Structure 1
């Protein structure tokens, strides 16, 4: 049974500000605060174990570093920030279980980090944060309460911390948005939609899951 489905977004949150315009050309330099912003974002992601960077779009090879300062230096190498308009970072995520920690790759990513404007997104392609996972093998939803209970709170906690630290005006983080296979974003939170979780619960009840309490969080 596969508890996540790479290739399909379950949640995607956009961070942006209106401080710099959209006009760019080949000579547009990185915006002045880019290194400071990058360090803030990467520090929180690494400290929370939500994203341990391993690969940088546009650069070959695996990232090898000891701390955030080393990582930012790698990103700056060869004037990388001056040569691209945007980039993304992929890597590992540590997931908590009752037996300990598990490492998953490419389930939480930083995407579209613009060098000319304060803008990027954080996304997940995993059901690990949800009470039920879509199992590819059986093509149906199955319960995923252990990983959900131990990890779901981490998504909104990281998103809120990054938003607070950056201090950008960012109304888009508060939107209500449906994603693939019934996942629902409400602000920082990620849910299975009311329709999906109610249908699946009625078909396959789980006494350890409080449906009423879960639905109330979506109101």
Structure 2
């Protein structure tokens, strides 16, 4: 499978739905929207890929970017490395890119099975996490809370980007400024969710604990 629409079709068929319309009806999706996503007439975002992946029982990283195994890992005690961060000064998370896509890392102390990890690439996050480090957070998709203000957190903005930024108050309620470790501050962003960073593993130790997925 070499394209996102093809992988979506494969996931739908593997789940037992003979037609796109049957899948759309089962999960309450708009028939035309889903059909356009599956036939390639309309691209779908990573956020939508997560919804489709959850419905069809596949990994969103595989569905969106052909990264790692199709199915979620069942290996106890490990969580997925879902992407890279720090490869550019904007703090954008690059989902499931590079050779480590699909790799696993141990659940950090105090973490749960909802934990996920990001691998730091480059030196734009120096002072927080060096090149090769792992950043963990709980993938719970909940709104930002007051105790996150002033801290570096993982956020998703309404443009489908996932970022690692310092969270600050915006100009009015419901808006936030996102301060980069290196690079300009993004002002008055609307957030879909925010998550505390729960652990940062230094590069040397990260190299020792990452487990590749065949």
Give the shorter-chain TM-score range.
under 0.3
Relative to its length, the structure with more helix (as a share) is 1
Greater RCO (Cα-Cα under 8 Å, separation 6 or more): 1
TM (norm. structure 1) is 0.24
TM (norm. structure 2) is 0.24
